[in-house]
A and B are shown apart, each in its own frame.
Chain A
Amino acid sequence: MLRRNVRLRREYLYRKSLEGKERLLYEKKRKIKQALEEGKPIPTELRNEDAALRQEIDLEDERTAVPRSTIDDEYANATESDPKILLTTSHDPSAPLKQFVKELKFVFPNSQRMNRGGQVISEIVETCRAHDFTDLILVYEHRGVPDKIVISHLPFGPTAYFQILNVVTRHDNKDKKEMGTVSEAYPHLILNNFSTKIGERTANILKHLFPVPKPDSKRIITFANQSDYVSFRHHVYRQSGGSKSVDLKEVGPRFELRLYQIKLGTVDQDEAQTEWVLRSFMNTSKKQKVLGE
């Protein structure tokens, strides 16, 4: 297992190094394809390599035609099987935090909650690896109010650190009797306004926490970005009378997330490379819209 991981990591690094060359090659192939389609003569600089490249073009399918970017390689095989999530908290959680984590367990399908006890982060990560978890989610708090969430993708994948704001839990709103049970169908996802590169990356991280849903699923989870604050909403809908009238019923907690760091390793690797980190002390930080718009 360890060796496989090491090998996968090495492959990733090798592919990353080839990315530049691959891009050139892709460009050349694209030019040839274009010239062929338009019926124009092939550009002179490609004449020597034309025959070999043409052969390669013929052999390509949709998957190989596009040059691979190494950024989301951690999620390359993630779609093949459903994600398996482990939820934990910081040490010695308070009761409201425990409630919150319990609610989150219902939000993410195929997830399990674990008591933190006295475990160290590296131990937790090892257990995850041993039991083939794909993601690890840690929730931290401040005096009962959850204030930080860390989503770490496991084989060797990226870790995203979010700050939680404006939490409204299900426990706050209603009594136990009114709440009812949460639907556990695989939900549809709406990821709105993640337009920049980092936005796409975050969208990917959040997306791959959920499995592939059935097309007729009635449960919707929304991550809507508005000036770097991502609103999380969880609804169940009912379409009455054709596709015109849609009744939304809000279920589950609602909170705002603010991304402040993405690291390229797992949680226990603190010396991993940071892909992006929030710099709020700069003078232009007010104007910056990192995730979208």
Chain B
Amino acid sequence: MAATNPAGVEALHRLKLTEPPMYLTPSPELANAARTASEHLFALLKPYTPKSPFDRLLVDEKFDAEQIWQQIDLQSQPLISAICRQVNKFEKDPKELKGIFKSSESEQEKRSEFVMEREEEEEEDEDSEDEDDVEEKDHEIKEGEREIKEGGFFDEKEFYDDEAIDYGLTKWKQGLEDDEDDELGILELAGEEDNSDAEKIKYDDFYTSNKKHDQNKKSKVNKEVEDTEMSDEEENEGSDVEDDEDSDEDVDQEDEGFADDLASDEEAMKDNLSTHEKQLLEQRAKIEQVEKESLDVKAWTMQGEVNATKRPKNSALEVDLDWERNAKPPPVITEEVSQSIEELIMKRISEGHFDDVQRVDRLPSKAPREMKELDENQSKKGLGELYADEYAQKTGLVSQALSFSDEQKKEATVLFKKLCLKLDALSHFHFTPKPVIEDMSIQTNVPALAMEEIAPLVVSDAAMLAPEEVFSGKGDIKEEAELTQEDRKRRRASKKRKFKAENAKKAAKKPRENKQTAGDGEDNTPSSEP
């Protein structure tokens, strides 16, 4: 064993005794104590490390935390792997374990104490946040190892990881129960999920022994127990450890286990399915349930209009008939409301601000009548001049300057006619043809010579009369002087003919008038005189 260096031990004790908050402030004494303690521990472990480059931990003042830590690391890494190997070895060969565990009850208690201690130290550990923190943890592992060596009763199997130990998982406990008849009770405990332990804890840790003992009882040869169940057992056992009540609780658990056998059997089958298949199963179960519900008769609250006869007695008292309504409730007219309205009215009155109908002026549809103003002043023109002006206007010798309003009037009338056409087209079913807007321009029958003389040069010839308008071609074209003898004869003959026709008409008219009262439809053709 390692030489117990008193200084080192004392340093360890000191570290243990200091309050965790003290670690938060850097203090040189604690640092020194930590150094000596680590040195001591290192020395303790040295024999067990297969090959280490250091004889002792170099913890002089000049070495900083990083370097010390690295040295420790160098030592501890191979050590840990060695321990793991040994643990695996014991896994496969649990009989050795049993042999160890059967030794004594007192050892149990010791172990429980140690376990508790460990837990306390762990808590301390977690509290401290010093640079020595990591070293502390390391120390713990080493302490545990030391205890192993000292006690000689533990197997490394117990110390898988911190959490396992928290839960109080101890192999020796397992081992005890293995001997009891219904170990399977423990197995059947329905577990909650605790997958953090899953990786390091293996099936074989717990159940390889069971397999060998109880193959006759249950046919669970290749049962893959979930880690959840183990971890749950750990939890249960953790509590047991603290309280030191082993047997009673275990018995209870076993009873439950019996009842749940079949269920867990199915669970085992379920565990063979993938997650997707499990989901499908759940869905199907839900669907079946919903279908079953919908086929059943509904509860009376869901049946629409329900009389008192259709529902059980006093059932309306139990149902909460209040639900959220979407409509706004009609306002209750309180005094305040009326008051506020009246205030509003008074305010409006004092402002004089009302929302009355405004009378709008109609668009004038008729043009305002032209009022003929009578000029009261004496006319400056004499009467003779007035007559002369009128005559000139009549004959068109004077081109009258058309007044402004006439021009506009013309334009307006033309526009209005076009507009009327459009409106009529819109509102009448039958077709209205376009109105002929005649351009009216006065054309006076004035001899061209006169026009040419008087009219300004700008006036176009188009305004003048065409030859047909001057003389249409009926009547005597030739003058008296121009006539030849035959022409004279012809004229005389036509004259005579006309005269005769007129006389015959006159003669026919008179007897017709006399006979009208009789009403005879006598055909009175004018008798042609030879």
Interface residues of A (CB under 8 A from B): 7, 10, 14, 63, 77-80, 165-166, 188-192, 203, 207-208, 210-213, 220, 222, 224, 226-229, 231, 233, 235, 237, 239, 243-244, 246, 248, 254, 256, 258, 280-283, 285-286
Contacts and interface: CB of A to CB of B under 8 A. Distances in A.
Nearest to A258: B330
Nearest 6 CB-CB pairs, A to B?
A191-B355, A188-B354, A280-B327, A246-B346, A79-B360, A212-B359
B125 to A, nearest CB: 58
Contacts of A244: 350
B340 to A, nearest CB: 9
A210 B337 CA distance: 25
Contact of B345 (A190, A203, A227): A190
Contacts of B363: 63
Residue picked from A190, A192, A227, A228, most chain B C-beta under 10 Å: A190
A237 B352 CA distance: 13
A235 B328 CA distance: 28
A282 B344 CA distance: 33
B333 A166 contact: yes
Contacts of A248: 342, 345-346
B418 interface: no
Nearest to A78: B357
10 contacts: A10-B427, A79-B358, A80-B360, A189-B354, A192-B344, A226-B331, A233-B342, A235-B342, A237-B349, A243-B350
B326 interface: yes
A10 B427 CA distance: 8
Residue picked from B349, B350, B355, B357, most chain A C-beta under 10 Å: B357
Contact of A222 (B326, B345, B350, B360): B345
Nearest to B354: A188
A235 B345 CA distance: 9
A107 to B, nearest CB: 16
A80 B345 contact: no
A191 B345 CA distance: 10
A213 B327 CA distance: 38
Contacts of A190: 344-345, 348, 354-355
A286 B356 contact: no
B523 to A, nearest CB: 52
A246 B349 contact: yes
A224 B350 CA distance: 17
A247 B395 CA distance: 81
Contact of B326 (A63, A203, A283): A283
Nearest to A229: B331
Interface in B338-388: 341-342, 344-346, 348-350, 354-360, 362-363
A281 B324 CA distance: 12
B437 interface: no
B330 A203 contact: no
Contacts of A222: 341, 344-345
B331 A189 contact: no
B436 interface: no
Interface residues of B, number: 27
A78 B360 CA distance: 9
Contacts of A211: 357
A285 B326 contact: yes
Contact of A207 (B332, B348, B357): B357
A272 to B, nearest CB: 23
A60 to B, nearest CB: 13
B319 interface: no
Given A220-B349, A222-B341, A224-B341, A256 B331 contact: yes
Contacts of B330: 165-166, 229, 256, 258
B518 to A, nearest CB: 52
A286 B339 CA distance: 26
B437 to A, nearest CB: 23
Contacts of A237: 345-346, 349
Given A166-B330, A189-B356, A285-B326, 4 more contacts: A10-B426, A10-B427, A165-B330, A235-B345
B326 A212 contact: no
B91 to A, nearest CB: 64
Contacts of A282: 326
A14 B344 CA distance: 42
Given A229-B330, A280-B326, A220 B358 contact: no
Given A231-B341, A239-B349, A246-B346, A286 B355 contact: no
A268 B362 CA distance: 30
A276 B101 CA distance: 89
A14 B422 CA distance: 13
Contacts of A283: 326
Contacts of A189: 354-357
A63 B510 CA distance: 73
B427 A212 contact: no
Contacts of A233: 341-342, 345
B333 A256 contact: yes
B326 A281 contact: yes
A131 B332 CA distance: 41
A286 B328 contact: yes
Residue picked from B328, B337, B350, B426, most chain A C-beta under 10 Å: B328
Nearest to B343: A248
B326 A7 contact: no
Contacts of B362: 77, 80
A227 B341 CA distance: 14
A191 B337 CA distance: 16
A248 B341 CA distance: 11
Residue picked from B330, B332, B349, B427, most chain A C-beta under 10 Å: B349
B195 to A, nearest CB: 44
Given A192-B344, A222-B341, A208 B349 contact: no
Nearest to B331: A229
A213 B358 CA distance: 9
Given A233-B341, A286-B326, A80 B359 contact: yes
B357 A79 contact: yes
A79 B358 CA distance: 7
Contacts of B344: 190, 192, 222, 224
B356 A212 contact: yes
A189 B358 CA distance: 11
B357 A220 contact: no
A210 B345 contact: no
Interface in B244-270: none
A244 B350 CA distance: 7
Nearest to A168: B333
A165 B332 CA distance: 10
B345 to A, nearest CB: 6
A213 B270 CA distance: 89
A165 B327 CA distance: 15
Contacts of A258: 330
Nearest to A190: B348
A231 B357 CA distance: 19
Contacts of B327: 280, 285-286
Contacts of B328: 227-228, 285-286
B517 to A, nearest CB: 50
A258 B330 CA distance: 9
